[in-house]
């Protein structure tokens, strides 16, 4: 199927393009970008007037729950949610059952995504076998079988020596280490951010310094070893400052945050709302401000969702018992577009954070609309308004703190490898 | 909503009625011995004080006066209305073998009196209970009648009879609202 | 006339000044019943109350049970261990099973903060919180306030010192919420490891740097129970050192007003948070608190049984 996407505002930070242009897609690749292009014979013409045409969005941090936890999500439902949200690629974390710590599981995911999924799925392997924090996984084989990074996401690699060796080893074979930065002793039995709200609700708090300390350790290990590291789901003011300072020193550190960390504070937990329970927890207003500033000044490289589907039975319970995490694929784009509306980011910065940077950090060879590039393209209507409703979400799970919210902006067409996989 | 108010009794009239009730109580019971007055909160409790005063003027000596709050004995407690504050029941003496004069301001369905009698029974076994009311407006729903009545006032169900008290809890007037 | 319009009593934070005053005033009236020969009124005849306790508690459970019985309700006690919530039946399923017995009120104690709100969403009966995690313990807060009112005739303008592990104390939270709504000022003291962040923002609350500062001219001294199992962990060195800095004794009690009253929610660790002489001394109103517990719980049961206020 060939396409002519006409009259859209094409934004491609990789080429510094921001102009009303036409895009021709042929044989799954971007053939040409320019003004007044003619449709190739048999091509579908998509009128993109008033829409943004951007390199397909990439979510570098999702949990697809497949294999093993398909009652929460699977590769089909998860990638469907992704393309509805405008994502053409997702990177799935290894805390499946069994863990993505071997070639068989990585291949299973890649094959299932290719045959049944709606978008590209790039698995992230584990740093340690079975996420045990004890012994390094076979990172080389994981990379050869298609993993684009390694992470023990969900928990930190507590042993500093092991983490240092993992960074050295991974750098040697050229695979990115993604850190879940958290000091477990300080987290303890905590269930939400430690602050005034936790005091009022009588819930055990997780102090912000638990994330700050771990982030500092990771940047120091990366600095000491000279290896790159990527910090997942940054949520605190302190972590932003530590990463900013590390970058200034030349440490090879990149990081991501998630839409809920720049949209919500721990006030959302009031009423013991388990859909506002995640790890790291929602923080406070000054953290939200710091996250926005970090995105604006480039300290934070990427926006990822940490899409973490959980069954209703795992959320419709007492607060302490509820599992951590929220879904995010279908609400990320409008929540992020709000940063542009609010003047925090330029549109160019936003597209970079949601496409170009994730591709660059994990070497995905995506995130650009250059001639000959794989045609992963997202068309965005920035003005359409819609309400988040549980029964209309494509994800199997409905654990979102944004249910009932009115969102502005949505992906109207999602193109993966030249094929239209979603139309609104 | 406009409401027509008719004054049925003024302060002096109420005082005369209480004095007459005091006389009748003494006459029926042949003196003050073993008599106690229990007023039903809130209006009846104020009137019980008034009757007690008259009795001591007539006979000399003090008659024990108590007050009962019937909220916890109501028969409409189970449900539809928000529960109101519970007033204090103050019966600082035994009712065993006493002649209890139960005092209320307006006798209507009789349900309040039923509740008050149940409450009194929890304080011992009185020799008898007699009922004194300032106004009997009719429409009984239970087989209850007053022994001493200030005034009988035939009313319709739509009307409302109220005894108004001043800030020192002295009765001011009885009004009929339509 | 004041009316109580809530179906549940989960936290004093959710109640207005007027609601709390009404509950205290009703409790004052209820007290008379407890002094009668026949300690029973027919008010809640035919009502069923389930006391569902996920944490052991003799005092609170007994007090709720007596309160229900004095109002003529049928009371049933279910005591179960908290761990079953994570292993076997969920709270949600337990609640639905209990509902099949058609209770009018469930009085619950649970180790997880906020679990009563969860339960209230699942059932159609009234919920009364008998303590949830480190969140609130409204009946204790109310009986504490009633006790203070007994002593002073008012709560407005009282200086109340609360000393101990504020972080883990639902008693402290309910007292702070209630007292500051009714015009008292609260002064907190405890090891910094036991003072939660932002606690001074909960109302008219002052965090003191020492116990002496909190005791100074206090009308009421409320000592909290120190959890023995926290000893030797990260919050404090041991009971001995705790007692040295945050224990009430015949010397530091003199800093409070001469006739100040001393309170404790119990059970007391004698020699740790309070010396025996202060527990048994003339200023101790601890047994008065226990006595007031029944009347306060009668008032709570009575008021939640009323209809809700329609809009």
The ipTM of this complex is 0.91
Burial class (CB in 10 A: 0-12, 13-18, 19+), C223: buried
Give me the mean pLDDT over the C18-37 stretch.
Answer: 93
With H, G, I as helix, E, B as strand and everything else as coil, classify residue B59.
helix
Cα–Cα distance, A259 to A144 (Å, whole number): 32
| DSSP conformational letter for A128 | B
CATH for A56-361 is 3.20.20.140
Question: How far is residue C279 CA from its own chain's centroid?
Answer: 19
Q: What share of chain C in percent tops pLDDT 90?
A: 79
The reported pLDDT for the residue numbered C230 is 61
Gap between the terminal Cα atoms of chain A: 19
Pairing of strands B99-107, B128-136: parallel
Are B45 and B104 in contact, with CB atoms under 8 Å apart? no
Total residue length of chain B: 178
Q: By the 8 A CB rule, do A117 and A75 touch?
A: yes
Whether residue A359 contacts residue A367, with contact meaning beta carbons closer than 8 Å, is answered with yes
Residue of A nearest to C95 (CA): A317
Contact state of C135 with A202 under an 8 Å Cβ cutoff: yes
**Residues with Cβ within 8 Å of residue A352, at least 6 apart in sequence:** A13
Of the residues C17, C39, C59, C154, which is catalytic?
C59
Chain C residues within 8 A of A321 when measuring between CB atoms: 85-86, 112
Domain ranges of chain B: 5-72+94-177
Mean pLDDT, contiguous 10-residue spans, chain A (424 residues)? 94 96 96 93 94 98 96 97 98 97 97 97 97 96 97 96 97 97 95 97 97 98 98 98 98 98 98 97 98 98 98 94 97 98 97 98 97 97 97 97 98 97 96
pLDDT tops 70 at residue C83: no
DSSP A22-42: EEEEETTEEEEEESSPPPPTT
Q: Determine what percent of chain A falls in helix, strand and coil, rounding each to the nearest 5.
A: 35, 25, 40
Each residue of B55-110: pLDDT tens digit? 999 988 889 999 999 989 987 765 556 677 888 899 989 999 999 999 999 999 99
Is there a contact between C42 and B79 if contact means CB atoms under 8 Å apart? Answer: no
pLDDT of residue A381: 98
User: Parallel, antiparallel, or unpaired for β B65-68 and C74-79?
Assistant: unpaired
- What's residue B61's pLDDT? 81
User: What is the pLDDT, as a whole number, of residue C37?
Assistant: 86
By the 8 A CB rule, do B21 and B148 touch? yes
Q: What is the pLDDT of residue A146?
A: 97
DSSP string, B102-139: EEEEEESSSHHHHHHHHHHHTT---SEEEEEEEEE---
pLDDT computed for residue C301 by the predictor: 96
Give percent of chain B above pLDDT 90: 72
Record: contact A205-C197, CB cut-off 8 A: yes
pLDDT at position C310 is 38
Which DSSP letter does residue A275 get?
Answer: G
Q: How is chain C classified by DSSP, letter by letter?
A: --B---S-B--GGGS-HHHHHHHHHHHHHHGGGGGSSS---STTTT-EEEEEESS--HHHHHHHHHHHHHTT-EEEEEE--THHHHHSS-HHHHHHHHHTT--SEEEEEESSTTHHHHHHHH-SSEEEEEEETTTB-HHHHHHHHHHHHHHHS--TT-EEEEES--TT-HHHHHHHHHHHHTT-EEEEE--GGGS-TTGGGGTTEEE-SSHHHHHTT-SEEEEPPP-GGGTTSSS-S-HHHHHHHH-B-TTGGGGS-TT-EEE--S---BTTTB-HHHHHSTTB-HHHHHHHHHHHHHHHHHHHTSPPPP-
Q: What is the pLDDT of residue C311?
A: 31
Residue A272 distance to chain C (closest CA, Å): 6
| C174-221 pLDDT, tens digit each | 999 999 999 999 999 999 999 999 999 999 999 999 999 999 999 999
Fill in the DSSP letter of residue A319.
T
Backbone angles phi, psi at A31, to 5 degrees: -95, -40
Q: Which fold has domain A3-52+374-423?
A: Urease, subunit C; domain 1 (2.30.40)
**Inter-chain contact C42–B87, Cβ cutoff 8 Å?**
no
Would you put residue C133 in left (φ > 0), alpha (ψ -120 to 50) or beta? Answer: left
Chain B residue set in contact with C, beta carbons under 8 Å:
69, 72-74, 77-90, 118-119, 122-124
Packing angle, helices C138-152 and C286-304, rounded to 10: 120
CB-CB neighbors (< 8 A) of C132 in chain A: 202
Chain-chain contact of A321 with C92 (C-beta, under 8 angstroms): no
What class, spelled out in words, does domain B5-72+94-177 have in CATH?
alpha beta
Q: Report the residue of B68, B78, B120 to disrupt the C interface, i.e. the one with the largest count of C CBs within 10 Å.
A: B78
Higher-confidence position of A89 and B1? A89
Token pair belonging to C59: 């005092």
Give the H or E element holding residue A414.
strand A406-416
Q: Report the greatest alpha carbon distance in chain A.
A: 66
- Confidence class for position C309, pLDDT limits 50, 70, 90: very low
**Residues B77/C73, Cβ–Cβ less than 8 Å:** no
Catalytic residue among A74, A287, A306, A376: A306
pLDDT of residue C26: 93
Q: Is C36 a catalytic residue?
A: no
Q: What three-state secondary structure class fits A385?
A: strand
B86 and C29 in contact by Cβ < 8 A?
yes
The rounded distance, in Å, linking the Cα atoms of A165 and A128 is 11
| Measured torsion, CA atoms of residues B48, B51, B56, B57, in degrees rounded to the nearest 10 | 150
CB nearest to C42's CB, from B73, B83, B85: B73
Calpha distance B114→B131 (Å, rounded): 11
Q: What stretch of H or E contains A92? A: strand A87-92
Q: Which domains does chain C have, with CATH numbers?
A: 12-136+292-304 (3.40.50.1370), 138-290 (3.40.50.1370)
Q: Which residues of C touch B111 (CB under 8 A)?
A: none
Residue among B148, B46, B128, B52 nearest B87 (CA): B46
Mean pLDDT, rounded, for B102-121: 94
The DSSP secondary-structure symbol of A174 reads T
CATH 3.20.20.140 domain span(s) along chain A: 56-361
Say if C39 is an interface residue toward chain B (CB within 8 Å): no
Question: CA A329, CA A308: separation in Å to the nearest integer?
Answer: 9
Q: Is A372 helix (H, G, I), strand (E, B) or coil?
A: coil
Interface contact C308-B82, CB threshold 8 A: yes
pLDDT value at residue C307? 60
A306 is annotated as an active-site residue: yes
Burial class (CB in 10 A: 0-12, 13-18, 19+), A386: middle
Return the DSSP state at A374: B
**Residues of B with CB below 8 A from C18's CB?**
none
Which among C91, C92, C199 has the least Cβ separation from residue A199? C199
| Whole-prediction pTM | 0.90
Helix runs in A97-183, H state only: 103-116, 139-144, 160-173
Please say if the pLDDT value at position C247 is more than 50. Answer: yes
| Inter-axis angle of helices A103-116 and A75-84, nearest 10 | 60
Q: Kindly determine whether residue B72 and residue C5, on different chains, have CB atoms separated by under 8 Å.
A: no
Q: Which of C118, C173, C198 sits opposite A195 (nearest CB)?
A: C198
The per-residue b/e assignment along C171-207, b for 16 or more CB within 10 angstroms, e otherwise, is bbbbbbbbbbbbebbbbbbbbeebbbbbbbebbebeb
Looking at per-residue pLDDT, the higher value among B121 and A386 belongs to A386
């Amino acid at each position: 199927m060939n396409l002519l996407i006409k009259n859209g505002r094409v934004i491609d930070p990789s080429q510094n393009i921001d102009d009303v242009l036409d895009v021709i897609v042929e044989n799954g690749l971007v053939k040409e970008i320019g003004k007044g292009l003619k449709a190739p014979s048999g091509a579908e013409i998509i009128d993109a007037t008033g829409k943004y045409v951007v390199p397909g969005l990439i979510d570098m941090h999702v949990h697809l729950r497949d294999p093993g936890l398909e009652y929460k999500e699977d590769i089909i439902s998860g990638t469907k949610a992704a393309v509805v949200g405008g994502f053409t690629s997702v990177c799935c974390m290894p805390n499946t059952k069994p863990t993505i710590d071997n070639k068989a599981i990585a291949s299973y995911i890649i094959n299932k995504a290719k045959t049944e999924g709606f978008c590209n799925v790039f698995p992230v392997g584990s740093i340690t076998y079975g996420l045990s924090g004890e012994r390094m996984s076979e990172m080389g084989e994981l990379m050869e079988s298609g993993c684009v990074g390694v992470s023990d996401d969900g928990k930190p690699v507590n042993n500093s020596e092991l983490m240092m060796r993992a960074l050295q080893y991974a750098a040697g074979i050229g695979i990115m280490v993604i850190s879940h930065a958290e000091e477990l002793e300080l987290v303890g039995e905590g269930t939400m951010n430690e602050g005034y709200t936790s005091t009022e609700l009588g819930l055990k708090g997780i102090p912000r310094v638990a994330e700050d300390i771990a982030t500092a350790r990771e940047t120091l290990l990366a600095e000491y070893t000279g290896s790159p590291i990527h910090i997942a789901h940054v949520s605190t003011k302190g972590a932003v400052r530590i990463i900013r300072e590390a970058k200034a020193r030349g440490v090879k550190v990149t990081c991501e945050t998630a839409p809920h960390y720049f949209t919500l504070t721990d006030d959302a937990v009031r009423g013991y709302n388990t859909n506002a329970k995640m790890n790291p927890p929602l923080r406070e207003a000054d953290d939200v401000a710091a996250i926005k500033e970090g995105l604006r000044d480039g300290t934070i490289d990427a926006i990822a969702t940490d899409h973490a589907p959980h069954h209703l039975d795992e959320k419709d319970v007492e607060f302490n018992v509820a599992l951590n995490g929220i879904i995010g694929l279908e609400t990320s784009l409008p929540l992020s577009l709000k940063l542009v509306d609010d003047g925090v980011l330029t549109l160019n910065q936003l597209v970079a954070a949601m496409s170009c940077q994730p591709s660059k950090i994990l070497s995905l060879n995506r995130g650009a609309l250059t001639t000959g590039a794989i045609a992963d393209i997202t068309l965005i209507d920035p003005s359409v308004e819609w309400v988040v409703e549980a029964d209309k979400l494509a994800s199997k799970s409905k654990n979102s703190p944004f249910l009932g919210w009115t969102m502005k902006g949505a992906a109207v067409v999602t193109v993966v490898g030249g094929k239209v996989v979603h139309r609104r | 909503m406009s409401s027509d108010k008719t004054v049925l009794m003024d302060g002096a009239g109420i005082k005369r009625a209480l004095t007459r009730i005091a006389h009748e109580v003494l006459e029926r019971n042949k003196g003050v011995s073993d008599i106690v007055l229990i007023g039903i909160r809130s209006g009846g409790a104020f009137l019980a004080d008034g009757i007690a005063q008259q009795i001591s003027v007539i006979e000399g000596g003090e008659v024990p006066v108590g007050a009962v709050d019937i909220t916890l004995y109501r028969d409409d407690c189970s449900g539809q209305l928000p529960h109101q504050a519970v007033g204090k029941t103050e019966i600082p003496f035994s009712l065993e073998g006493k002649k209890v004069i139960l005092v209320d301001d307006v006798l209507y369905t009789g349900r309040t009196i039923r509740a008050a009698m149940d409450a009194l029974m929890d304080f011992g076994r009185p020799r008898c209970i007699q009922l004194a009311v300032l106004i009997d407006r009719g429409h009984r729903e239970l087989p209850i009648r007053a022994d001493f009545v200030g005034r009988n006032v035939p009313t319709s169900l739509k009307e409302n009879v109220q005894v108004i008290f001043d800030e020192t809890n002295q009765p001011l007037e009885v009004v009929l609202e339509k | 006339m004041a009316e109580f319009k809530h179906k549940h009593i989960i936290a004093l934070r959710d109640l207005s000044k007027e609601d709390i005053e009404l509950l205290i005033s009703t409790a004052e009236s209820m007290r008379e019943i407890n002094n009668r020969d026949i300690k029973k009124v027919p008010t809640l005849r035919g009502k069923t109350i389930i006391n569902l306790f996920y944490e052991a508690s003799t005092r609170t459970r007994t007090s709720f049970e007596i309160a229900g019985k004095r109002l003529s309700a049928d009371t049933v006690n279910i005591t179960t261990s908290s761990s079953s919530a994570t292993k076997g039946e969920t709270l949600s399923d337990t609640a639905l099973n209990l509902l099949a017995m058609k209770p009018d009120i469930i009085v619950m104690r649970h180790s997880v903060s906020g679990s009563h709100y969860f339960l209230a969403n699942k059932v159609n009966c009234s919920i009364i919180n008998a303590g949830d995690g480190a969140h609130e313990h409204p009946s204790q807060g109310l009986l504490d306030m009633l006790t203070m009112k007994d002593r002073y005739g008012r709560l407005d303008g009282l200086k109340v010192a609360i000393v101990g592990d504020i972080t883990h104390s639902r008693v402290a939270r309910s007292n702070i919420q209630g007292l500051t709504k009714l015009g008292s000022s609260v002064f907190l003291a405890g090891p910094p490891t036991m003072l939660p962040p932002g606690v001074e923002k909960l109302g008219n609350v002052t965090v003191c740097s020492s116990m002496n500062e909190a005791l100074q001219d206090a009308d009421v001294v409320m000592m909290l129970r120190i959890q023995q199992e926290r000893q030797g962990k990260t919050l404090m060195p041991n009971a001995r050192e705790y007692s040295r800095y945050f224990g009430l004794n015949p010397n530091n009690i003199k800093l409070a007003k001469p006739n100040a009253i001393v309170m404790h929610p119990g059970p007391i660790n004698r020699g740790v948070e309070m010396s025996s002489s202060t527990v048994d001394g003339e200023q101790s109103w601890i047994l008065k608190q226990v006595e007031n517990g029944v009347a306060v719980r009668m008032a709570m049961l009575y008021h939640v049984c009323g209809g809700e206020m329609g809009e």
